[in-house]
Amino acid sequence: MKIISFKKYSIAGLMVIASCTNLDEKNYLYDTATNQNFGQTDAEVVSLMAAAYTNLYGSFGSDGSIMRLEEVPTDEIVVPQRGPDWGDGGHWVRLKLHTTKPDDGGPGNTWSFLFKGVNTCNRVLSILEPIGTPASTKFMSEIKALRAIYYYWLLDLFGNVPISTDFTQTDPPPNNTRKEVYDFVEKELLAALPDLQKTGPNDNGTYGRVNYYTAETVLAKLYLNAEVYTGTAQWDKAIAASDEIINSNLFSLMPNYSDNFKKDNKGGTESIWVIPYDEIQATGFQLPHMTLHMASQETYKMGGQPWNGWASVQEFYNSYIDPAQNPGPQGTVVGLDPKGTPIQGTKDKRLGNFIVGPQFTSDGVSPLNDAGYEAASDPDGPQLNFTPYMNELVPAAWRQTGARIGKYEFYKGMTGQLSNDWVLFRYADILLTKAEALARKAANWNDPTALALVNQIRTVHGGVTPYATMTAATFLAERGREMFFECTRRQDQIRFDTYNSAFRFHPADPSKHVNLFPIPESVLNANKNLKQNPGY
């Protein structure tokens, strides 16, 4: 009896053992998708390709990634240390001083954003390649063009980056030279052009995606900076690429400059390529957080607390209102003294790029008070007042100083993630590119076509007096006013050789190696085949 019970017991035990040694994790995959079970339907495949574009969300229009490198080192933006805020280990200040280190967050985050884009494109291409239909071939060209654009930014910021086109490659790739990267970008874009759609800004199918004119724009910008990138100027090619866009007649200057950047700016006639942000579906555009003061939350009934960081610089603001630099209709504008006392100055319509002067609550009339105002450093009392004047970069910039970035419309009830679409490439930039290339080719800043193009922008967008004559400096100033906070300033200053000179909060650079950023330390550690950029 007992023996039997033991036998049955042990047999049952053995049966359990036999059935319970299977350790395949497939049986336990409940909430995750793997490369084995995902990518089976059309919708799933499209969602995998979409990542090549959604990688852009949270880059432009945010303070975590590429905007740090494109804007903070220039003369149009400053992120000062405001006492206890924005010290952050000194990396913001180092960006301004052009002393960024390989282990700072700016290069690291930007590198990973761009190479994630490259890698995602490679992965999408590896999915598309075997399909081999005409539609898939066209889509491959679009993705290759997108990859070339990621490389255009890498070329511009880091220069000597590894070219990677094969998703199945397993060795960490070594550096290519900046010239090789330039050639790669040019070749890839030219090769893609025939397959890309020649659609305008109102086309639903290509809105937010790379089309023919996006590729031409990047080519125009590539050629405009070719001398910086390769040592050889390409003015004719820049003009030709610009003309491809201008002569399409699909684009035109918006009569009202600020409409380019309003909340519902979809289909603006200047928008060549945008990031189609949405406060719910496509988040990552967090300019209100970056620039507004904590108390401004009340002004806009904003869904989060702003960080009181990014601002513009007094000289740059002054380039709009100073009649000598920017002749035009005069009126009352916020002045440059520490109180922002109103003065007479040029009323450029593009002054809406800034939020300056006394601030009010959401009713628009009640003064908005800053509880933390300091009597010693804030002569105008507790009301929040954004002054173009900024006392210092570090360590104790006053909390209310700095003209705030108002280029994109801030609307009541915004979450802090804007729904405005970020304009990556804009028609006005193409007009200025053509103007500059013409002037430089002719070695004459008063080249009539160039002057006409610039004055078209001055009159339509600025509502200011056309230039009678132009110099490199006045051209650059006009480009600055028009293209403020559109990530062209660093390129422009390098091209006009002002990037390494002294400007507000930035002493002259002893060496030009800073015109390329260092390859991030974490990347060098992870990829032993890479070498650091010279000078770091």
Partner 1 sequence: MNMHFYFFKRFKYVTILAITMLFCTAVFAQVAIQGKVTDNTGNGLPGVSVLIKGSSVGTSTDVNGSYSLTVPNSKAVLIFSYVGFPTQEVEVGSKTTLNVSLLPNQGQLNEVVVVGYGTQRRKEVTSAVATVTAAQFNKGNISDVSQLLQGKVAGLSISKPGGNPNGGFTLRLRGLSTLGANTSPLVVVDGQVGADINTVDPNDIQSIDVLKDAASGAIYGTRGSSGVIIITTKRGGRTPTVAYNGSVTAEDPVEFTPHMTAAEYVKAGGKDLGASTDWNDEITRTAVSQIHNLSFSGGSGGGTSYIASLNYRDVQGVAITTGFNQLNAHFGLTQKALKDRLTFTIDGNATRRSSTFGWDRAFQYATIFNPTAPLRTTDAPGAGGLNLTGSGYVEQNFVEYANPLAVLEQNTNKGTLKRMNINTSGQIEIIHGLKFLMRYAQENTSNFRSAYLPKTSFDTRLLDGGSGFTKNGLAQQQDNESHTQLFESILSFEKKVSSKLNLNALAGYSYQDFLYNGLYVRAGDFLSDVNADNITNAGDFKNGKAISNSYKNGSRLVAFFGRVNLNYNDFAFLSASLRREGSTQFGTNNKWGNFPAVSAGLDIGKLVSVNKVNSLKLRASYGVTGALPPNSYLSQFLYGPTGRSFLYNGVYIPAYEPTQNSNPDLKWEKKAEFDIGLDFAMFNNRLTGSADYYNRKTSDLLFNATVPVPPYPTDRRWMNIGTLENTGIEFLVAYDVIKSKAFNWNTSVNFSTFNIKLASLNKDLAGTVIGASNLGSPGQEQTQITRAVEGESIGLIWGPVYKGLDPTGKFLFDDGTGKAVLSDAYKTKIGNGLPDFELGWTNTFRYKNFDLNFFLRGSFGHDIVNTYRAFFENSTPTNIASYNVVTSKYFNTALTSQPTFSSLYVEKGTFVKLDNATLGYDFDFKNDGAIKGLRAFVNGQNLFVITDYTGIDPEVRYSYGGNILAPGVDARDTWVRTRSFTFGINLKF
**Span 224-283, contacts to partner 1 by CB under 8 A:** 276, 278, 280-283
Cβ at position 25, least distance to partner 1 in Å: 4
| Residue 528 binds to partner 1 (criterion: CB under 8 A) | yes
Q: Are strands 354-355 and 385-386 parallel, antiparallel or unpaired?
A: unpaired
Nearest to partner 1 of 8, 187 (CB atom): 8
| Cβ neighbours for 19, distance < 8 A, ≥ 6 positions apart | none
Residue the block writes with tokens 């690429």: 241
| Residue 78 binds to partner 1 (criterion: CB under 8 A) | no
Cβ at position 249, least distance to partner 1 in Å: 23
| Residue 535 binds to partner 1 (criterion: CB under 8 A) | no
CB 300 within 8 A of CB 379: no
| Residue 88 binds to partner 1 (criterion: CB under 8 A) | yes
Cβ at position 521, least distance to partner 1 in Å: 8
| Residue 436 binds to partner 1 (criterion: CB under 8 A) | no
Q: Point out which span in 142-150, 201-209, 480-488, 509-517 binds partner 1 (CB under 8 A).
A: 201-209
Cβ at position 148, least distance to partner 1 in Å: 16
Q: What is the 3-state secondary structure (H, E, C) of 395-411?
A: CECCCCECCEECCCCCC
Question: Which residues does residue 396 pair with via DSSP β-bridges, in sequence order?
Answer: 82
Q: Are strands 354-355 and 404-405 parallel, antiparallel or unpaired?
A: antiparallel
Footprint of partner 1 on 384-413 (CB under 8 A): 394-396, 398-399
| Residue 532 binds to partner 1 (criterion: CB under 8 A) | no
Distances (CA, A) of 52 to 192, 194, 448: 16, 21, 42
Q: Point out which span in 65-73, 98-106, 220-228, 244-252 binds partner 1 (CB under 8 A).
A: 98-106
Q: Point out which span in 100-108, 216-224, 341-349, 507-515 binds partner 1 (CB under 8 A).
A: 100-108
Q: Point out which span in 138-146, 212-220, 289-297, 509-517 binds partner 1 (CB under 8 A).
A: 289-297
- From the list 472, 442, 438, the residue with the least C-alpha distance to 453 is 438
CA separation for the pair 253, 371 (Å, rounded): 43
| Residue 83 binds to partner 1 (criterion: CB under 8 A) | yes
| Residue 284 binds to partner 1 (criterion: CB under 8 A) | yes
Two structure tokens written together for 239:
């003009």
Cβ at position 270, least distance to partner 1 in Å: 19
Q: What is the CB neighbour count within 10 angstroms for residue 471? A: 12
Among 170, 232, 249, 469, binds partner 1 (CB under 8 A): 170
| Residue 32 binds to partner 1 (criterion: CB under 8 A) | yes
Cβ at position 289, least distance to partner 1 in Å: 8
Footprint of partner 1 on 452-511 (CB under 8 A): none
| Residue 522 binds to partner 1 (criterion: CB under 8 A) | yes
Two structure tokens written together for 490:
């660093």
DSSP 463: -
Among 298, 322, 337, 509, binds partner 1 (CB under 8 A): 298
| Residue 531 binds to partner 1 (criterion: CB under 8 A) | no
Among 128, 302, 403, 519, binds partner 1 (CB under 8 A): 302
Two structure tokens written together for 369:
């008070």
Q: Site size for partner 1, by CB under 8 A?
A: 120
User: Longest C-alpha distance within the chain, in Å?
Assistant: 115
User: What letter represents residue 435's amino acid?
Assistant: A
| Cβ neighbours for 420, distance < 8 A, ≥ 6 positions apart | 261, 262, 263, 264, 265, 277, 285, 408, 409
Question: Which residues does residue 343 pair with via DSSP β-bridges, in sequence order?
Answer: 333
| Cβ neighbours for 522, distance < 8 A, ≥ 6 positions apart | 103, 108
| Residue 34 binds to partner 1 (criterion: CB under 8 A) | yes
| Residue 320 binds to partner 1 (criterion: CB under 8 A) | no
CA separation for the pair 239, 257 (Å, rounded): 24
The beta-strand segments (E) located in 217-303 are: 271-275
Among 74, 119, 312, 420, binds partner 1 (CB under 8 A): 119
| Residue 30 binds to partner 1 (criterion: CB under 8 A) | yes
Two structure tokens written together for 353:
């790029």
Nearest to partner 1 of 44, 497 (CB atom): 44
CA separation for the pair 24, 411 (Å, rounded): 53
| Residue 39 binds to partner 1 (criterion: CB under 8 A) | yes
| Residue 369 binds to partner 1 (criterion: CB under 8 A) | yes
Cβ at position 491, least distance to partner 1 in Å: 25
Two structure tokens written together for 143:
């993705």
